Structure 1
């Protein structure tokens, strides 16, 4: 899913100006990267607040329209109010669509309830990792990587090298020689 955010450059900077914006239902943000000067912008708060609840918003390429000029960006950071349902600030990084980039992508675990380890061998599935750092062109970045646990046996471990990756996506830990465990099945049958 593609997200488009409408923004405007902001002239007034500082704590007081940001508070006035938040009070008016706006969200201060900054856009940086791609060898271009950082730009302070302001967005509507509510569309961004609800978009943050969707997983694809955190890992996907966003279209940020600043005063009519469209830019491809990636959400890099955001700050929430400690107890109010309020986003305080956001950081966006400009993206060069022809250059590979690093992004943390969540792992979706499927098939655990259908695996022999759980159904017949009494094992418990432990998720060792919940996200993984990948490198790919922005157009090839996945929203998530699926980890199929249906074939796991008691005492077995699934490693990064066992994951099925989309075309053009590589796991940075594997390129450095590390093959971490992603999930394992342990329990009574595994001990035997």
Structure 2
């Protein structure tokens, strides 16, 4: 098949999802694994995409942050039920620059910023009240001031090495379009459903 641009196709599908998906069209499943191959998956929010990759943000000390530090390969899955479509993306990840992380963090709501300081993400919590107390402490600490990005909070950018675009079809005769790198561009193919 002819060379194609999966980034443009993703942008087109994402725009359609933003118009039709009732909740969180930017939600994506992020699959990571430990160095010995034990997988885990969770939903995160896409915060940027384009030819440079797919970007999301988190606490670097979270389980996903630790797994990505130890094994820098991951997979993403977007599922847009209203469109009966999904997109899979696989590739290596890298940490975004401090300036990119600072810029995004500044756009978050104040309570989300304070929550990033209050949460020891993925660590055991003895009671919800403990977290709420830490949140109140951070509110007092930064009262009247701009909330800076916590030192262990940043983002990751996946550099895609493969894409799969899945479309629902009647009688489970679905369409699966795959894109793989080829000669400085992308080659498109099909998979059986």
Q: TM-score of the superposition, structure 2-length normalised?
A: 0.26
Indicate the structure (1 or 2) with the bigger Cα radius of gyration: 1
Higher helix share: 2
Q: TM-score of the superposition, structure 1-length normalised?
A: 0.26
Question: Which structure would you say has the larger RCO, counting Cα contacts within 8 Å and 6 or more residues apart?
Answer: 2
Higher strand share: 1
